[in-house]
């Protein structure tokens, strides 16, 4: 074998090895360049062998080697094509994953934006509602957190509305296991709360009956129940009676402010208020107030 043949063969082997290694470490462009160098080297080796065919005594052996090299080249080309196809499929899958992730990200971003908008809207509604209730609080000339006897305040409210209650045929009674129950609140505002609820019963009883005001204390809370024997309201209307300007099916003249103001007073002192009214069996107003 001549020196040129040896050099061509060595270069072919080197480029062949680099081509194999390149599938794992090189870019596609560099793999193609190395593969072309391998092809040129092996072609040159084949050409050198062909040139020396007449002088080389082992020509048949050389032809066999060329055939083997061509077979290896063809196999390498097939392996290369297979690897390229596999890489293309992998790139395609990754591209699909990227597109899917991008789509999900945009969807999530849109949902977060909508949620933020709804949250901001709800926050504004809550602030508006809070401001509305604060504006309904009656002015207070007394100490807003004075210690008062809530039973005494209830009796005063009954006394002030005694004439109206008598005309309507409404008897008002107070029921309590204690003579005195103290709470930190404005006497003026609590008086207005009782007056508004009692006045509501006077207006809407629409028949003679009774209003029982039960006042009790459990641990650090005062519980007040004002239950009359009037006609009451349907359940779907009862849940709206504390709303401003609400007029039920038994509406009469008035602006519907009384119970809304009572709710504002109760919530101002950290309490809760709700109503129950089995139709035909009166109206019950239930109040919880913290004592401090």
How do 209-218 and 170-175 pair as beta strands? parallel
Which of the pair, 117 or 162, is modelled with greater confidence? 162
125 Cα distance to chain centroid: 17
Bridge partners (DSSP) listed for residue 173: 212
Statement: residue 8 has pLDDT above 80: no
The kind and range of the H/E element at 230 are none
Taking the C-alpha atoms of residue 65 and residue 87, their distance in angstroms, rounded to an integer, is: 32
Pick from 165, 263, 147: nearest CA to 212:
165
Statement: residue 77 has pLDDT above 90: no
Which of the residue ranges 8-12, 90-94, 146-150, 190-194 would you say has the lowest mean pLDDT?
8-12
Which of the pair, 95 or 255, is modelled with greater confidence? 95
pLDDT at 255: 47
For 233-248, the pLDDT digits (tens) are 888 888 888 887 666 5
Residue carrying structure tokens 């609080």: 137
Which of the residue ranges 174-188, 208-222, 225-239 would you say has the lowest mean pLDDT?
225-239
56 Cα distance to chain centroid: 85
- Give the pLDDT band (50/70/90) at residue 65: confident
Statement: residue 278 has pLDDT above 80: no
The strands making up 209-218's β-sheet, listed across from edge to edge, are 170-175, 209-218, 221-228, 284-290, 272-276
For 25-41, the pLDDT digits (tens) are 767 787 778 778 878 87
For 106-124, the pLDDT digits (tens) are 888 888 888 888 876 765 6
Pick from 237, 242, 276: nearest CA to 257:
242
pLDDT at 173: 95
41 within 8 A of 12, measured Cβ to Cβ: yes
DSSP state of 138: P
Task: Pinpoint the alpha helices (H) of 137-216.
Answer: 150-160, 162-167, 187-204
Statement: residue 134 has pLDDT above 50: yes
pLDDT at 30: 77
- Give the pLDDT band (50/70/90) at residue 55: low
Provide the 3-class DSSP secondary structure of residue 74.
Answer: helix
Taking the C-alpha atoms of residue 233 and residue 282, their distance in angstroms, rounded to an integer, is: 8
For the chain, the average pLDDT equals: 82
Statement: residue 216 has pLDDT above 90: yes
Taking the C-alpha atoms of residue 51 and residue 26, their distance in angstroms, rounded to an integer, is: 35
> Does pTM surpass 0.75?
no
Query: In the numeric block, which tokens belong to residue 192?
Result: 């207005």
Secondary structure percentages of the chain, helix, strand, coil, to 5: 60, 15, 25
How many C-beta neighbours within 10 Å does residue 92 have?
10
269-272 long-range contacts, CB within 8 A, separation 24+: 269/184, 269/185
- Give the pLDDT band (50/70/90) at residue 126: very low
């Amino acid at each position: 074998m001549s020196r040129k043949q040896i050099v061509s063969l060595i270069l072919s082997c080197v480029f062949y090895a680099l081509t194999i290694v390149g599938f794992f470490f090189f870019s596609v462009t560099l793999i193609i360049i190395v593969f072309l160098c391998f092809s040129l080297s092996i072609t040159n080796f084949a050409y050198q062998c062909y040139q020396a065919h007449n002088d080389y005594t082992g020509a048949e052996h050389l032809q066999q080697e060329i055939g083997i090299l061509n077979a290896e080249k063809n196999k390498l080309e097939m392996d290369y094509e297979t690897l390229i196809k596999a890489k293309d499929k992998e790139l395609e899958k990754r591209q699909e994953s990227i597109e899917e992730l991008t789509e999900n990200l945009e969807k999530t971003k849109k949902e977060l934006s909508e949620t933020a908008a709804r949250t901001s809207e709800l926050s504004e509604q809550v602030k508006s509602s809070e401001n509305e209730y604060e504006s309904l609080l009656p002015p207070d000339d007394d100490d807003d957190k004075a210690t008062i006897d809530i039973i005494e305040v209830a009796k005063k409210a009954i006394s002030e509305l005694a004439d109206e209650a008598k005309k309507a045929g409404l008897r008002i009674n107070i029921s309590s296991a204690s003579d005195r129950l103290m709470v930190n609140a404005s006497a003026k505002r609590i008086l207005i709360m009782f007056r508004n609820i009692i006045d509501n019963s006077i207006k809407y009883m629409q028949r003679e009956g009774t209003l029982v005001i039960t006042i009790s204390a459990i641990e650090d809370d005062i519980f007040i129940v004002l239950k009359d024997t009037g006609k009451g309201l349907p359940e779907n209307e009862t849940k709206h009676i504390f709303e401003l300007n609400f007029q039920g099916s038994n509406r009469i003249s008035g602006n519907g402010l009384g119970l809304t103001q009572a709710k504002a007073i109760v919530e101002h002192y950290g309490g809760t208020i709700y109503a129950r009214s089995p139709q035909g069996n009166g109206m019950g107003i239930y109040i919880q107030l913290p004592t401090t």
